[in-house]
Structure 1
Amino acid sequence: MAEMLTDTVEWRVEAGQLPYRSALESMEDRNRAIFEGKANELVWMLEHPPVYTAGTSADGAELLDPRFEVVEAGRGGRYTYHGPGQRIGYVMLDLTKRGKDVRCFVHSLEGWVIAALGDLGAECWRAEGRVGIWTRDIDGREAKIGAIGVRVRRWVTMHGFSVNLSPDLSHFTGIVPCGIEEFGVTSMAKLGHDIAPHTFDEALKLRAGDFLAALEGKECSLP
């Protein structure tokens, strides 16, 4: 299912689970097409079967139990997990039209997800020195509820974010998530929020204008 968010940005929702390698191939093709002016920019919402992905800074010692397929992702960062119950947003935007500011892109991406989760009842935040989306777990400790991992090729962005709606959190124990041992991971379900994928998608769409405005205005933040 696809529609247009703006005149240049397409919104696509993938039905069913898409294997990670297939998504990588599609992203490479779309990146090239956007660069060549042959395709619209894209926000692509989907879900993967269980997989561990390795970023460019991945340390093999942090792959504790490779019970699922391990794929070299090409994005920044270390190891992360994707699987059922986790919502993925791949964001492919042309930064030549948006200031060529990768730091602003990542900051605004975090702000977009934080705002959407806030609208759904979860107070989340950025943490200095730790890329991603953070919240307070049921034990009162800070925990990660969403990951950010991006790649920029030809000044067109690839990859994006993942948000834990209701995944099997035990699957994260096969890795040191994003190389951070001292903090756990949590989910909307664990925090008591029963959020369907389409509900999260709609919350994101309502905040998409703020996200794009932040990029285009180089504000690097959202209200």
Structure 2
Amino acid sequence: MQKVILQDLGKKAYQETWDYQTELLQETVKTKFDNRQNGTNNPTKNHFLFVEHPHVYTLGKSGSLDNLLLNEEQLKQKRIEFYKINRGGDITYHGPEQIVGYPILDLENFFTDIHKYLRLLEETIILTLAEYGLKTTRSEGETGVWLDVGTPFARKICALGVRASRWVTMHGFALNVNTNLGYFDHIIPCGIKGKAVTSLQLELGREVPLEEVKTKIKKHFCALFEAEFV
């Protein structure tokens, strides 16, 4: 069982969290580099961060600025931050009552397969939502977790976007729990036109405690990745 250091950062600004992720990633990459240079075998650390961001839009490196429907002045008026970042994927929204998970894992401790890594993150959320009676799935060619794929009512409940450097991951997933979905109206989420977003609250018709959902996420993540949180 791989040990993963779990931290719940609570409510934290996006830039501050991004910097912290980068710091953890660089620390792990340095350990790996030193091992190769010096012929040592010092273990690398794995991390998992939970966080809740203030209102922010983030645009991945392959994304189009056209998918942000507000100008700079409108962003200021609505008090929404905006960042171009180094993960894959297009534009998405983070905000209050959304669970964001950032695993900073050395995949050489698990498996060296980014595709498998993404699928297991999706499966973590799929199994979590199944505990609430929701049947969610993947949408071919569209990373994330969806409901009613293949119908006119297809809607996304969880976005994914990751980056890896020397098999060390950063960024992760954003699950809409009691999220104000109105903020998605100002973007073309993930650059996909004509498909809606949803939340756990909207699907169930009631608010859901974030801590309750996090507990389920942790359980399924550990089972799928054969890991334990410390």
TM-score range, shorter chain: 0.7 to 0.9
C-alpha contact 2:158 2:175 (8 A) present in aligned 1: yes
Q: TM-score, normalised by structure 1?
A: 0.87
Letter paired with 1:12? Q
Q: Distance in 2 between matches of 1:80 and 1:42?
A: 23
Q: Match for residue 61 of structure 1?
A: 66
Alignment of 1:1-223 (within 5 A): 8-15=3-10, 17-37=11-31, 40-66=45-71, 67=75, 68-136=80-148, 141-192=153-204, 193-213=206-226
Letter paired with 1:146? C
1:174-199 deviations in whole A, cap 9, x for unaligned? Answer: 11000011210000111125321100
C-alpha contact 2:44 2:106 (8 A) present in aligned 1: no
C-alpha contact 2:121 2:221 (8 A) present in aligned 1: no
Q: Distance in 1 between matches of 2:7 and 2:81?
A: 26
C-alpha contact 2:52 2:98 (8 A) present in aligned 1: yes
C-alpha contact 1:30 1:39 (8 A) present in aligned 2: no
Q: Match for residue 38 of structure 2?
A: none
Letter paired with 2:225? L
Q: Distance in 2 between matches of 1:41 and 1:97?
A: 9
Identity, % of aligned pairs? 31
Q: Distance in 1 between matches of 2:2 and 2:190?
A: 35
Letter paired with 1:133? V
Classify the secondary structure of the residue corresponding to 2:137: strand
Aligned-pair Cα RMSD in Å: 2.0
C-alpha contact 1:131 1:148 (8 A) present in aligned 2: yes
Unaligned runs of 5+ in 2: 32-42
Q: Tell me how many residue pairs correspond in the alignment.
A: 207
Query: Could you say which structure has the higher helix fraction?
Result: 2
C-alpha contact 1:65 1:173 (8 A) present in aligned 2: no
Q: Distance in 1 between matches of 2:172 and 2:126?
A: 14
Q: Distance in 2 between matches of 1:140 and 1:118?
A: 22
